[in-house]
C-alpha cells in the first residue's frame, strides 16, 4: 500500500454511542484465538492494562459480555470470546469487506484528498472513564428535576438526577437504552456493609485490579453482568482501606455526578 492509497478503517457507531473499531475487533479475535488477554495484548503491541481497559469498555457497552475473562494479572488468566463477541466480530468483518469493495470503486473516481474528506471520522470522544450501557428502568418526575433509574446489569441500577427538560430533550422513557458516563474521580470506595451515606448510588463489587501511581490508585470493580466500574482514589486512601484484588467493596456515586447519553 502506497502513502497516497486510500485506506478506510471501519469504525461503527450510532448517534452518541462510543465506537467499535478495528483495534477492538482485533483484540476480541486475538483473545479468542490465544485464550489469554496477556498473550493477545503482546501480539497487538498493547500493554496488559490497555488490553484490560478495552475488554472492560466493550463488556460495559453491550447487553451481554463480548469477552469472558478470569483476571490473572500480567502472568495471564484464561479468557475467551463469547458467542455474542464472535457475532460482533463476524458482523464487523462483513461490513469491512463491503466497505473495502466500495472504496476500491470510489478511489477510481475521487482524488485521495477528496476521499479523505468524504470519510472524515465523527466518532464521539469523552474524558469519562466509565461508560456503562443500560436500559431506563424508571423515571420519577419532580417539579424541576427528575430521577432516572438505569439498569446496567441484573440487580444493578444506577440513579441519575436530570432536569425535566434534559429528560425531554433526550427522549428518555422506560425501556429505552442509554449510556451512563461517570468520571472515575467521582467514584468513592468504602468497605463494610450497612453504610449510611448521602450518596444515592451504592454499588457492591469485587476488586479485579489495582494500579498504583505516584499519587493515585486506579481500582477496577466487577459489578455483575460482565460490567466494570473504575474508581480513581488517592494512593493514601487505597492504602488506608487496604484494598486488594478479590476484596468486596462498595462504590459510592452521587446521582448528580451521572451524565446520561442516548442515540
- Please name the CATH architecture into which domain 11-118 falls: Orthogonal Bundle (1.10)
Q: How many CB atoms lie within 10 A of CB 119?
A: 16
Global pTM reads: 0.66
Confidence of residue 143 (pLDDT cuts 50, 70, 90): confident
Is the CA virtual torsion 126, 132, 137, 139 positive or negative?
negative
Q: How confident is residue 24, by pLDDT bands cut at 50, 70 and 90?
A: confident
pLDDT tens per residue, range 208-226: 999 999 999 999 999 999 9
The number of CA neighbours under 13 Å toward the Cβ of 160 is 25
Buried b (16+ CB within 10 A) or exposed e, 89-109: beebeeebeeeeeebeebeee
- 148 HSE (CA, 13 A, CB side): 33
pLDDT at 1: 45
Half-sphere exposure of 173 (CA within 13 A, CB side): 2
Q: Is 231 exposed, middle or buried (0-12, 13-18, 19+ CB in 10 A)?
A: buried
Q: Are the C-beta atoms of 129 and 112 separated by less than 8 Å?
A: no
CA-based R_g, the chain, Å: 20
Name residue 255's beta-bridge partners.
none
Give the DSSP letter of residue 45: T
Domain locations in the chain as residue ranges? 11-118, 130-261
Q: Which class for 9: exposed (0-12), middle (13-18), buried (19 or more C-beta within 10 A)?
A: exposed
**Which of 17-26, 46-55, 62-71, 95-104 has the highest mean predicted lDDT (pLDDT)?**
46-55
Of the two residues 92 and 195, the one the predictor is more confident about is 92
Give the C-alpha separation, 132 to 40, whole Å: 24
CATH number belonging to domain 130-261: 2.40.50.100
CA 221 to centroid of chain Cα atoms: 13
Amino acid at each position: 500500500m502506497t502513502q497516497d492509497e486510500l485506506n478506510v478503517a471501519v469504525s461503527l457507531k450510532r448517534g452518541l454511542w462510543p465506537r467499535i473499531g478495528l483495534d477492538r475487533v482485533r483484540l476480541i479475535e486475538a483473545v479468542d484465538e490465544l485464550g489469554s488477554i496477556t498473550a493477545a495484548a503482546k501480539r497487538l503491541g498493547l500493554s496488559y492494562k490497555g488490553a484490560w481497559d478495552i475488554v472492560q469498555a466493550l463488556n460495559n457497552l453491550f447487553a451481554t459480555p463480548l469477552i469472558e475473562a478470569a483476571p490473572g494479572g500480567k502472568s495471564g488468566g484464561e479468557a475467551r470470546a463469547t458467542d455474542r463477541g464472535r457475532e460482533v466480530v463476524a458482523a464487523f468483518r462483513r461490513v469491512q469487506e463491503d466497505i473495502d469493495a466500495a472504496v476500491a470503486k470510489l478511489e477510481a473516481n475521487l482524488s485521495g484528498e477528496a476521499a479523505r474528506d468524504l470519510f472524515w471520522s465523527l466518532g464521539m470522544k469523552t474524558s469519562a472513564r466509565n461508560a456503562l450501557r443500560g436500559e431506563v428502568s424508571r423515571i420519577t418526575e419532580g417539579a424541576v428535576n427528575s430521577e432516572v433509574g438505569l439498569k446496567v446489569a441484573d440487580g444493578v441500577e444506577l440513579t441519575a438526577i436530570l432536569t425535566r427538560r434534559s429528560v425531554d430533550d433526550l427522549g428518555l422513557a422506560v425501556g429505552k437504552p442509554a449510556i451512563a458516563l461517570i468520571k472515575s474521580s467521582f467514584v468513592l470506595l468504602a468497605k463494610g456493609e450497612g453504610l449510611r451515606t448521602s450518596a444515592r448510588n451504592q454499588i457492591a463489587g469485587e476488586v479485579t485490579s489495582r494500579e498504583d501511581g505516584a499519587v493515585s490508585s486506579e481500582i477496577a470493580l466487577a459489578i455483575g453482568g460482565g460490567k466494570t466500574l473504575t474508581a480513581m482514589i488517592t494512593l493514601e486512601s487505597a492504602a488506608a482501606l487496604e484494598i486488594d484484588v478479590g476484596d468486596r467493596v462498595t462504590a459510592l456515586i452521587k446521582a448528580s455526578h451521572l451524565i446520561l447519553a442516548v442515540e
